[in-house]
Amino acid sequence: MAGINSLFKTKILLKPNTFSAIVQNGMAIFPSYYIEPIYKKEDQEALKKSGEISEYVHMPTKAALNSQTCSVSYDPILSLFTNYLMRKGQKELARNLVERSLEQVKRIQLERYHKCNSDEERAKIELNPKIIFHRAVENGKPLLQLMPVKRGGVKYQVPVPISEYKARFLSMNWLIEAGREKDRTKVRFWTQLARELVDASNNTGKVVRRKQELHKQCEANKAYAHYRWS
């Protein structure tokens, strides 16, 4: 009964169209015909140059999320990685760990930079930690995955192509798991994660090995690939 009362109170506070959307879409705030917000400045400039901005002016638009910003320092992939790292809603802690990891990546690269004896060696070292992070995620993305398919009472591990979203999730999850692994030195999480990011950006380390092992398993099970369609 309390839920019904709160629903009718919501009807008073919101627009009539919004209330119908709540009933139809299961507590959806915006109706289905509302478009996603265009919050990036480069996307807005592209629409202005193409002349398509006039088509979006009078269209109903959803409100932007708190994490969606046009700030120069905003990185959607890094923000997604922070959400994957977060546990029990402690997002401030997750942000702090990510920032410390990037800071440690910068220190590792600067130490290598100053140890170089020539300008050619220095030119090969990337000092931007965000670029290293993106390289690490890209190098850790698998191309195939194993999917269990049951045929004749037996489950076969069938190799199938993996979607871009799932590949990115696995790469980030493997990076987090590698950072959480404790060795004999008992280093901090951000230090271990920074090392894994640097190694993965150079196409080495635990994450890349894990991706290669998955590819080897898919190669070994390629005889079962036809079960994907049968």
Considering the domain boundaries, does residue 175 fall inside one?
Answer: yes
**Cα of 1 vs its chain's centroid, Å:** 40
- The 3-state secondary structure of 68-131 reads CCCCCCCCHHHHHHHHHHCCCCCHHHHHHHHHHHHHHHHHHHHHHHHHCCCHHHHHCCCCCHHH
If you compute the radius of gyration of the chain from its CA atoms, what whole number of angstroms results? Answer: 24
Which structural domain, as residue segments, surrounds residue 51?
Answer: 2-57
In the prediction, which pLDDT does 68 show?
A: 79
The predicted-structure confidence for 36-70, as pLDDT tens digits, reads as follows 888 888 888 888 888 888 888 888 989 888 777 88
Considering the domain boundaries, does residue 68 fall inside one?
Answer: no
Considering the domain boundaries, does residue 66 fall inside one?
Answer: no
Q: What is the pTM assigned to this prediction?
A: 0.76
* 145 and 193 co-located in one domain: yes
* 129 and 194 co-located in one domain: yes
Please provide residue 22's backbone torsions phi and psi, each rounded to the nearest 5 degrees: -65, -40
Q: Which amino acid is at 176?
A: I
Q: Is 156 exposed, middle or buried (0-12, 13-18, 19+ CB in 10 A)?
A: middle
The predicted-structure confidence for 186-225, as pLDDT tens digits, reads as follows 788 999 999 999 999 999 999 999 999 999 999 999 999 9
* 48 and 120 co-located in one domain: no
* 160 and 186 co-located in one domain: yes
User: What is the count of structural domains for the chain?
Assistant: 2
The predicted-structure confidence for 67-84, as pLDDT tens digits, reads as follows 778 887 888 899 999 999
